[in-house]
A and B are shown apart, each in its own frame.
Chain A
């Protein structure tokens, strides 16, 4: 067994799409370690949902935050120590619904964190309700007569919000996904992978995805219009149309963390400074 796995019993259903995301992440970690990156500098942060349990199974630093809120937790971790690589594992209900504001603001700031959205397009742990990316035809327990609203396209939102790395992955295409994940983590700035993770129990789209997922290669990843065109070509309403996966956009911009002071290794006594400060109030 990999040293990067804990002994915690895994609580996912057999065939759950989360397994391959975890295996891919561990493979990337092993790569990074072989390339000399100290793994203690990696911190996983998760939200709440089935995806969130991933932090229990990987033997590296982790913070299991709360539903929708992994991203602000991760942002402070990054600010605290810019030498870290912070990877958020979040769900679609988690981050596209409850925590959308945090996702968009992290993109706006271009803070150097990676967000892997386990987008199974259902609230699985809550036993099958609509999320912001659920397909229209889905019959959920809470909407037995069908959808009352349409999905939105989170990658469009991320693009206009300022994300500097936007991708979609399908972990069944193992090598393709692992490369995306590795690139996203290596990217300096905000990166997000909308990950087509299949919930075998409540929204089993394996067959559909196997049929419709298309790997795309974009020549100029800095071309906003081209990125928008590819991203907009699939709107999540149905899965019976071509679904592009791959890297859609990647540009370099200064990161939010660069605007902040780095904490001194040993804090200084502030007695004198404070008395001087008081003088300003006389």
Chain B
């Protein structure tokens, strides 16, 4: 067996996601590449949560609805996932909590989890180790691997946990063997962590955020790394304060980023416009989730593209990157930070709950080299002018304190020294400066892979963000080309034109109802022939997308 999908389901808040992460790491240690989809309600305890861990010999970033194994911690895990069961799906279930009457018993194996925990003096929340022990036996995985993992990642009472796991192992039948692969063992991290690493590599010094799903893991990561990486991590009173602090840091030359989702970003927009006017580099990680308003806080969406494209009153340039998997999240987050500083403008890392909170095998070698790049700095000659007019619109930067010089920045239209002006010529020049920067940024980005093309075909799928993984597999299955827009602003017109060479039919795939990427393409003179939308808060499974594409091709 060289590919597997395991679904673990139970009550939210009782360790389903940590069970999924252990399983992901087990498979990873066997040399597989993994992807874990985490579906949970906005509830601390109770409600139904499930994870699907998929492992394959090659890189994957999509889940399947058809699973090989179910770990049923409760009745819902079985009842709510009937359609995910295949004829030969193995179900390992807690025999005290799950009724399996009328179901094909041959593929079912009950574990008396409560009895085992009692016999081994395990606490109720150790049920997952019992189930994972059972899974190891069913797939013929050495329990030594599990022990290594627990000692490293879950060390509290690990001996006790292993006792429970051994009992689960002993009472389960082997069904198959998940072969050990001779491939490097990759780290497993979620998109937030990948974004965080990319920002760190590009020289991040400070992170400011108000907690919000789905980007809180970035705040947690940086809070944990604060001493080690000499970071400043600030959690202020609101997202309004967050964005204003970002502008204060930027003024002082401190490379920083902020993170939020749609609701929090709404509050940041006022300060974003300030960053635009004052040409302050700010980097926003925007993890989209289901809206409008509170919507479904723990579910996914790609419905804020239109918002981000135009957020902030007035006209100013911006960079928007939309990474599609962990490696892209790492690389493009770093690029966003670098370019924000080189061009002194706001940059967005536009992600979503799927990318932010799902886990991926992360192969840093698959990402281009990423370095901290320096902004254009003042040469120290003459009197400093913060907003000096230059040929490319980029004024050399200097930061206080600077003996004998002053650095003035301003939310008003301002002259070269940063002093208010309401003169028409000054106002026009300030806006022209922004347009010029945008043009140079767009030109520079032509050397980047702003639009990615995979496979060949006269019919192409078009996607952005986390749909990359599922589109890649379906495009390959169905013999289609795939075009992925990684940079959404400045719009990569030429790169898209090149990508569309030979394409006769273009089908967009988006996690929103209106086709926001398709609308953006139309604004730039491109035609999308058919559109596939999903806006129920859930990411496309392979089966979802295959069906939708078949329908579109009819």
Residues of A within 8 A of B (CB): 6, 8, 38, 40-41, 43, 45, 48, 53, 55-56, 59-66, 69, 72-77, 79-81, 83-84, 101-102, 105, 260-261, 263-264, 267, 269-271, 273-275, 277-282
Question: Which residues on the B side are within 8 Å of A282 (C-beta)?
Answer: 25, 28-29, 185-188
Q: Are A63 and B205 in contact (CB under 8 A)?
A: no
The smallest beta-carbon distance between B11 and chain A, in angstroms, is 27
The smallest beta-carbon distance between B19 and chain A, in angstroms, is 17
Q: Are B240 and A72 in contact (CB under 8 A)?
A: yes
In the A-B complex, the 4 residue pairs with the smallest Cβ-Cβ separation, listed nearest first, are A76-B248, A281-B187, A80-B252, A72-B244
Decide yes or no: A63 and B251 within 8 Å by CB, A76-B208, A281-B189 being known contacts: yes
Q: Which one of B92-100, B223-231, B436-444, B539-547 is at the A interface?
A: B223-231
Q: Are A80 and B401 in contact (CB under 8 A)?
A: no
Question: Which residues on the B side are within 8 Å of A260 (C-beta)?
Answer: 232
Q: Are B245 and A75 in contact (CB under 8 A)?
A: yes
From A59, A83, A269, B401 is in contact (CB under 8 Å) with A83
From B231, B236, B271, B420, A8 is in contact (CB under 8 Å) with B420
Question: Which residues on the B side are within 8 Å of A267 (C-beta)?
Answer: 203, 205, 372
The smallest beta-carbon distance between A173 and chain B, in angstroms, is 30
In Å, the complex CA distance between A269 and B187 comes to 22
**Those of B199-219 within 8 Å (CB) of chain A:** 200-201, 203, 205-206, 208
B197 at the interface (CB under 8 A from A): yes
Q: Are A76 and B411 in contact (CB under 8 A)?
A: no
Q: Which residue of A lies closest to B233 (CB)?
A: A260
Q: Which residue of A lies closest to B250 (CB)?
A: A76
Q: List 14 A-B contacts (CB under 8 A).
A: A40-B401, A61-B408, A62-B406, A64-B420, A65-B274, A69-B271, A72-B245, A76-B234, A76-B249, A101-B241, A105-B241, A263-B230, A270-B201, A270-B203
Decide yes or no: A77 and B251 within 8 Å by CB, A41-B401, A274-B200 being known contacts: yes
**Those of B228-267 within 8 Å (CB) of chain A:** 228-232, 234, 236-238, 240-242, 244-249, 251-254
In Å, the complex CA distance between A271 and B253 comes to 22
The smallest beta-carbon distance between B264 and chain A, in angstroms, is 14
Q: Are A56 and B420 in contact (CB under 8 A)?
A: yes
Q: Are A264 and B230 in contact (CB under 8 A)?
A: yes
Q: Are B197 and A277 in contact (CB under 8 A)?
A: yes
Q: Which residue of A lies closest to B412 (CB)?
A: A64
Question: Which residues on the A side are within 8 Å of B123 (C-beta)?
Answer: none
The smallest beta-carbon distance between B275 and chain A, in angstroms, is 10
Q: Which residue of B lies closest to A262 (CB)?
A: B230
In Å, the complex CA distance between A75 and B241 comes to 10
In Å, the complex CA distance between A3 and B411 comes to 25
In Å, the complex CA distance between A45 and B137 comes to 65
In Å, the complex CA distance between A63 and B362 comes to 41
For the A-B complex with A41-B401, A62-B406, A73-B244 known, give 9 more contacts whose Cβ atoms are closer than 8 Å. A40-B403, A40-B404, A72-B245, A79-B232, A102-B240, A263-B205, A263-B230, A281-B187, A282-B188
Instruction: Give the residue among B234, B252, B253, B274 with the most A Cβ atoms within 10 A.
Output: B252
Question: Which residues on the B side are within 8 Å of A76 (C-beta)?
Answer: 206, 208, 234, 244-249, 252, 254
